[in-house]
Chains A and B, each alone.
Chain A
Amino acid sequence: MNGQIGVYVCECGPNIKDRIDIDKVLEDISSLENVKVAKRFPLLCSNDGKKFLEEEIAKEELTHLVVAACSPREHEQTFMTVCKQAGLNPYLFQLINIREQCAWMIPDKEQATAKAIQYIRAGIQRVAFHRPLEPKEIDSIPDVCVIGGGISGLETSLSLAGKDRRVYLVEKTDSLGGMAGKLSKLLPYQGSELSSVEAKIKQAQDNANIEIFTSSEVSDVRGFLGNFDITISSHGESSEARKIQAGAVVVTTGFGLYDPGNDSQYGLGQIDNVITALEFEEMLGKDKLLLKSGKPPKSVALIHCIGRKELGYCSKVCCLYSIKFAHRIKDMSSDMDVTELYMDLCLPHKSDQAYFDEAKEKGIRFIRSGEDVLVKNKGTQIEVEYDRDGQKDSITVDMVVLAPAMVPSEGTTALAEMLNIPLDKTGFFKEIHEILDPISTPIEGVYIAGCAVGPRNIPESIVQSQAASGKILSSLIPGKKIKPEVKVSEIREDFCTGCQTCLSICFYGAISYDPIKDVSVVNEVICRGCGSCVGSCPSGAIRSKHFTYPQLYREVLEALR
């Protein structure tokens, strides 16, 4: 091996110096054949330290650099930058952790020293097999494609659109606004009226940097962060496909409503005057609260939690809007009898409890009815049977309003497949981490926001839309180049039989199949270097650029000597 490896041990102030016999380490390391020089330095991450390393690389004509110091999480990048500045490929470098993994956890100095030597020797063996890797830079397109023109889509588009950034807003139906647009009145404490959704629609339409496609769908997505090729197809006779390019995609496809079916316990579609919340909204919007007979009802039952048991999750907003309905009914006619039947009450926000108390004060009855609610015909009225603490009870009303659960909107599965993003058990789009990363997907550049991710209310959707926009604004800067992962996988064509096992394993969709050459191909821009494909290939045709077999084997062999 023609390598000239330089090994530098950092004293790290007292951290390493006091706990490891550095001179002993240097003595041992210097005796190794391929080590040109082994020195110590007080604090390598300091400006002096970095300068020292840069000078050493040049002076000693080092081909590889090994630094024994702290954790790579601390200073791997620091020293890689030093290499770059010294003209040494930054991947011909290895940082050995003798602080967190030696000095800080082994009290006995002799033991700690011995272990440090073992680690450093192992690292030297590994680094000898490193290959120079070239980081890539690719141009990115700052434009964004937003799929779904409801409140989330509108908010996202308005936050993103600008002189240097176009937004393509694609909406399946013929109008913008989504479900929020169908509401007659937003909850009082949420501020202004219906006009806020209308205002946003108008803002979007007036914005020259937002191109709106209604009655259209995204029919094909190819590419990766910064470089998506998207086909938008429109419905109808002149169904032309329009191809656009975008750097990011935000999925804001909203939700649908659970349909309990025609022979369910709720009588929907069977019994007159049993309607859904959406239908009720429409009535309220026209200010006409009437039964099928044309007369106004005298009593209304609002049943919450439709589908909660079947689907296994709470839809969060139905309690609030059902209480809203109750308030509206009472406001229209104070002697109307209003009863709310629920499994559990969901009142999480600041003003919700007070709203609920007010409802009770207005005489609206709340009954915790459990799961087994049965809606039956009773002459011209409706009987609602329920179970309370083992005892059967019932009320008789003129009208029943069902609050159905939120379900993923139609086309979610197809869209997920197209974008190669996962769905969770409930069928909504799956965020990377429910708590810590709620709007990202495994595919870089593809974000999800609003009810497409799961039941949430309008303020939450707005926040998520702004979050997605924020992520895009800070990462997809016009003119900025994207630096994809360098330590990716690569496939040796001659050894690949095109069985596509790696393709089916790849979580990130980074592998595609070339039918002409009959091999799989790694897209080095999308690849995150996780190595799953390397493990899956039975023949070893695919390998990691920075975790090659010789590198790992030599390191482990030396460590176990």
Chain B
Amino acid sequence: MNSTQKDDKSEGKAGKILPAEDGITSTIITFLKKSLEEKQLEAVMMPSKIPNTEAWTWLLLQDESLLASCNPLPPVMTVQGGKALSNVTKHGDLHEKVAAVMRPCEVQAAVELLKLKQIDLDNIYLISVDCPGAMPLQDYMADPEKTTKAFEEAFSTWGENESVRPVCQICHQFSLPLPQQSAPSDNSPPKNEGKFPAADLHIGLIGGDGTNVFLIPATAKGKELLDKLDLSAEDSMANWESKVEEIRERKFNKRKAADAEWQAKTEGVDNLAAVFDDCINCHNCKSACPVCYCQQCYFDSQLLQFSPESYLGRAEKRGALRFPLDTLLFHVGRMSHMALSCVSCGACEDACPMSIPVGQVFTMMGNKTQDYFAYTPGLDRNEPLPLQIFKEDEFGEVETPREGAEAPAEETEKNV
């Protein structure tokens, strides 16, 4: 299995514009159909509604007729797309050219999984789509029709929509990261700086006013696919680019505010415990998380099995001991294992039966720890995972001199 893909980013932002006469979804489906017919692709993986139900699932298909029930942007995120792709390629290449059409955070998760060797992206064309967010799964289960309608509105309100999930409201990775030359500053969203982008091809919807769909190649592989398809109409994506930047700036500021808010809410053990008070230790958050990849989670393992005597001892020390044990340990432990790869997809929060804002807390922690390592998960296939590399000069500021050791003497004429 390849650990990293060696590929260049495509130059500039030229792409193809597809007029969306029959609506965005059918335009995209037509494009995929064409690719299958012309054998540029051999299979497609994308969300599909299950006939006679309101349920959504991922479908890996070769039969074009199955595209009829597909939709690149369902109102909800059910199984995280990166996780789904890993399910079918964990043990190797499918040897078929597959286009996987997913939300940007799902593409990022797929790239993180690539670094963790849990997915094979050879022969996979990762196609991301501008994403207005996803609706809370609970809302959808309660009233699918109403929720779907609210979701459709999100396409016009885009960055300002408050009915989408909280993590979506503060997501600034909703589109293709744009390579920029300028240095990142604290007050603006981090630029991609020419790193190897995660997706091969991106479908831009923003700025298209619902009448146009932009197909933007992001890698040479993506460009090749697009070129082979010989689609008409090539134009500059300036309109899309500028609109995306505008929305991104707004969302990035929202994200900073949310981070500060959640940091305050979870400061100290008591506050953190209060947030997770309702937790029943079902571990759904862990199961839904795309980057939690362990065959058996440490916190489900026998390593945390203790004698009744030790439990009783602990209970006696405090007067009462809550069961199941170590709720906070599970969350903080999981955080320490995966926060650096957290793509803020929100699958965890959707899966929580007790409506705990897990996604929001983990997003805040993820953002903070990622900043600390200057690492952005899923953005660049060649950026190594911070926990797997050793840098000798790192975090010098947290190293305190040993007691009794003198501070380095100042350089004087005599010393030199």
Evaluate contact between A499 and B297: CB separation under 8 angstroms. Answer: no
Check if A262 is an interface residue, CB within 8 A of chain B: no
With a CB–CB cut-off of 8 A, which chain B residues contact A557? 310
Evaluate contact between B117 and A539: CB separation under 8 angstroms. Answer: no
A499 → chain B, closest Cβ, in Å? 5
Given contacts A499-B293, A501-B388, A549-B303, contact A538 B118 (CB under 8 A): no
In the complex, the number of residue pairs spanning A and B with C-beta atoms less than 8 Å apart equals 48
Give Cα distance in the complex from A515 to B296, angstroms. Answer: 20
Q: Which of A227-235, A243-251, A464-472, A489-497 participates in binding chain B?
A: A489-497
Check if A504 is an interface residue, CB within 8 A of chain B: yes
With a CB–CB cut-off of 8 A, which chain B residues contact A505? 388
With a CB–CB cut-off of 8 A, which chain B residues contact A30? none
Evaluate contact between A494 and B388: CB separation under 8 angstroms. Answer: no
Give Cα distance in the complex from A557 to B310, angstroms. Answer: 8
Check if B116 is an interface residue, CB within 8 A of chain A: yes
B112 → chain A, closest Cβ, in Å? 11
Check if A72 is an interface residue, CB within 8 A of chain B: no
Evaluate contact between A497 and B388: CB separation under 8 angstroms. Answer: no
Check if B387 is an interface residue, CB within 8 A of chain A: yes
Evaluate contact between A501 and B387: CB separation under 8 angstroms. Answer: yes
Check if B1 is an interface residue, CB within 8 A of chain A: yes
Evaluate contact between A495 and B337: CB separation under 8 angstroms. Answer: no
8 A Cβ contacts from B76-128 to A: 90-91, 116-118
Evaluate contact between A500 and B295: CB separation under 8 angstroms. Answer: no
With a CB–CB cut-off of 8 A, which chain A residues contact B310? 557
Check if B294 is an interface residue, CB within 8 A of chain A: yes
Give Cα distance in the complex from A541 to B1, angstroms. Answer: 21
Selected from B3, B90, B295, B388, the residue in CB contact (under 8 A) with A495 is B295
Evaluate contact between A497 and B303: CB separation under 8 angstroms. Answer: no
Selected from A497, A500, A536, A553, the residue in CB contact (under 8 A) with B294 is A497
Give Cα distance in the complex from A498 to B119, angstroms. Answer: 11
Evaluate contact between B337 and A541: CB separation under 8 angstroms. Answer: no
Evaluate contact between B1 and A515: CB separation under 8 angstroms. Answer: yes
B187 → chain A, closest Cβ, in Å? 35
Check if B373 is an interface residue, CB within 8 A of chain A: no
With a CB–CB cut-off of 8 A, which chain A residues contact B388? 501, 504-505
Of all chain A residues, which has the CB nearest B296?
A495
With a CB–CB cut-off of 8 A, which chain B residues contact A494? 295
Check if B301 is an interface residue, CB within 8 A of chain A: yes
Give Cα distance in the complex from A553 to B91, angstroms. Answer: 36
Evaluate contact between B389 and A499: CB separation under 8 angstroms. Answer: no
With a CB–CB cut-off of 8 A, which chain A residues contact B293? 497, 499
Evaluate contact between B387 and A539: CB separation under 8 angstroms. Answer: no
Give Cα distance in the complex from A539 to B388, angstroms. Answer: 15
Of all chain A residues, which has the CB nearest B309?
A557
Check if B31 is an interface residue, CB within 8 A of chain A: no
With a CB–CB cut-off of 8 A, which chain B residues contact A518? 90-91
With a CB–CB cut-off of 8 A, which chain A residues contact B118? 497-499
Of all chain A residues, which has the CB nearest B338?
A538
1/0 per residue A479-514: CB within 8 Å of B? Answer: 000000000000000111111110011000000000
B301 → chain A, closest Cβ, in Å? 5
A494, A536, A557: which has the most chain B beta carbons within 10 Å? A557
Evaluate contact between B298 and A539: CB separation under 8 angstroms. Answer: yes
Give Cα distance in the complex from A163 to B56, angstroms. Answer: 75
8 A Cβ contacts from B274-330 to A: 293-298, 301, 303, 306, 310
Of all chain B residues, which has the CB nearest A502?
B388
Evaluate contact between A538 and B295: CB separation under 8 angstroms. Answer: no
B294, B338, B387: which has the most chain A beta carbons within 10 Å? B294
A495, A496, A500, A539: which has the most chain B beta carbons within 10 Å? A539
Give Cα distance in the complex from A505 to B387, angstroms. Answer: 9
Check if A540 is an interface residue, CB within 8 A of chain B: yes
Evaluate contact between B298 and A498: CB separation under 8 angstroms. Answer: no
A480 → chain B, closest Cβ, in Å? 35
Evaluate contact between A540 and B298: CB separation under 8 angstroms. Answer: yes
Of all chain B residues, which has the CB nearest A553?
B306
With a CB–CB cut-off of 8 A, which chain A residues contact B389? 504
Given contacts A515-B1, A540-B303, contact A500 B298 (CB under 8 A): no
Give Cα distance in the complex from A501 to B1, angstroms. Answer: 15
Give Cα distance in the complex from A509 to B413, angstroms. Answer: 47
Given contacts A505-B388, A515-B1, contact A498 B297 (CB under 8 A): no
A544 → chain B, closest Cβ, in Å? 13
B117, B118, B297, B298: which has the most chain A beta carbons within 10 Å? B117
Given contacts A501-B387, A504-B389, contact A496 B117 (CB under 8 A): no
8 A Cβ contacts from B365-414 to A: 387-389
Evaluate contact between A540 and B301: CB separation under 8 angstroms. Answer: yes
Given contacts A499-B117, A504-B388, A504-B389, contact A538 B1 (CB under 8 A): no
B321 → chain A, closest Cβ, in Å? 16
A535 → chain B, closest Cβ, in Å? 11
With a CB–CB cut-off of 8 A, which chain B residues contact A499? 116-118, 293
With a CB–CB cut-off of 8 A, which chain A residues contact B295? 494-497, 539, 541
Of all chain A residues, which has the CB nearest B307?
A557
B229 → chain A, closest Cβ, in Å? 34
B304 → chain A, closest Cβ, in Å? 9
1/0 per residue B1-33: CB within 8 Å of A? Answer: 101000000000000000000000000000000
B149 → chain A, closest Cβ, in Å? 41
Evaluate contact between B1 and A539: CB separation under 8 angstroms. Answer: no
With a CB–CB cut-off of 8 A, which chain A residues contact B296? 495, 539-541
Give Cα distance in the complex from A55 to B235, angstroms. Answer: 92
Of all chain B residues, which has the CB nearest A500?
B117
B325 → chain A, closest Cβ, in Å? 14
B319 → chain A, closest Cβ, in Å? 20
Give Cα distance in the complex from A294 to B3, angstroms. Answer: 59
With a CB–CB cut-off of 8 A, which chain A residues contact B117? 497-500
Give Cα distance in the complex from A518 to B306, angstroms. Answer: 32
Give Cα distance in the complex from A536 to B337, angstroms. Answer: 10
Give Cα distance in the complex from A282 to B104, angstroms. Answer: 64
8 A Cβ contacts from A521-538 to B: 536, 538
B122 → chain A, closest Cβ, in Å? 14
1/0 per residue A537-561: CB within 8 Å of B? Answer: 0111100000001000100010000
With a CB–CB cut-off of 8 A, which chain A residues contact B337? 538
Give Cα distance in the complex from A267 to B295, angstroms. Answer: 63
8 A Cβ contacts from A181-216 to B: none
Give Cα distance in the complex from A45 to B162, angstroms. Answer: 77
A496, A500, A501, A540: which has the most chain B beta carbons within 10 Å? A540
With a CB–CB cut-off of 8 A, which chain B residues contact A553? 306
A279 → chain B, closest Cβ, in Å? 35
Evaluate contact between B91 and A539: CB separation under 8 angstroms. Answer: no
Of all chain B residues, which has the CB nearest A518?
B91
Evaluate contact between B294 and A538: CB separation under 8 angstroms. Answer: yes
Give Cα distance in the complex from A494 to B296, angstroms. Answer: 9
With a CB–CB cut-off of 8 A, which chain A residues contact B303? 540, 549
Listed by A's residue number, 7 A-B pairs whose Cβ atoms lie within 8 Å are A497-B117, A497-B118, A536-B387, A539-B296, A539-B298, A541-B295, A549-B303
Enumerate chain A interface residues (CB-CB to B < 8 A): 494-501, 504-505, 515, 518, 536, 538-541, 549, 553, 557
What 5 new A-B contacts, CB under 8 Å, besides A501-B116, A538-B338?
Answer: A497-B293, A500-B3, A501-B387, A504-B388, A540-B303
